[in-house]
Amino acid sequence: MKLTVVGCSGSFPSAESACSSYLVEADGFRLLLDMGNGALGELQRHCGLYDLDAIFLSHLHADHCIDMCAYFVARYYRHDGGRCDPIPVYGPEGTEQRLTTAYADTPTASSMSEVFDFHTVKPSTFEIGPFLVHTERVAHPVEAYGIRIEHGGKTLTYSGDTGISTALDELARDADLFLCEAAFTHGKEDIPDLHLNGREAGQTAARAGARRLVLTHIPPWTDPQVNLTDARAVYDGPVELAAPRQTYEI
């Protein structure tokens, strides 16, 4: 598997990065995890507008899904080559309604489903292209899912947005790469069931026995170096900060 960081800023785009979006590729199949603010423009550095094969939305906060509205425009109104066939979109219950409301002026109430083939995510195991995926609900104010992706004997886990969660521990169990949010700062923000800080991300990786930890979803107002130091204090494996255009072979 190849993982490309399309965007990794939390809550809103930074001067350097779009919000959460990650491209996972294997066997010629392209799966996008989330499409937050600014992600669609950055995505075009890595693949064509119409080269994605499936999209997974961890939850329906704007910094993880709002560029789907712009992507709707690109797919629905394409003239050269005709309208795109529907692309599978996996998201929490109500994803179609959320995107239709956010766009606010679709030609009809069902226009989104003419280019997006919506699938409702629940805790389950299923296949997306060549990937075997397992999803579990994690700790966030809205319905949110972490995802475990397996291919060729290797495993990638993406936390989505979450506070401390036993479900996330299991999703990350022995993962080759654990892409984990670390939005909060240890000793500063203390809001349960919302986000992890760097120390908690490191502790989760340690409990799960993950082989590599990549911290992501760090907002522009949070010092990433503090979170990196905090994670390294409690996790002995390799830890680094996600960065736009960074790639990983898994």
DSSP 51-107: ---EEE-S--SHHHHTHHHHHHHHHHS--TT-SPPPEEEEESTTHHHHHHHHH---S
Residues 6+ apart with CB under 8 A from 146: 58, 135, 136, 138, 157, 158, 159, 160, 162, 165, 167, 168, 171
Residue type, 250: I
Q: What pLDDT, on a 0 to 100 scale, did the predictor assign at position 120?
A: 98
pLDDT tens for each residue of 202-217: 999 999 999 999 999 9
Q: What pLDDT, on a 0 to 100 scale, did the predictor assign at position 198?
A: 98
Q: What pLDDT, on a 0 to 100 scale, did the predictor assign at position 83?
A: 87
Q: What pLDDT, on a 0 to 100 scale, did the predictor assign at position 192?
A: 92
- Parts of the chain with a pLDDT under 50: none
Q: What pLDDT, on a 0 to 100 scale, did the predictor assign at position 151?
A: 98
Q: What pLDDT, on a 0 to 100 scale, did the predictor assign at position 229?
A: 98
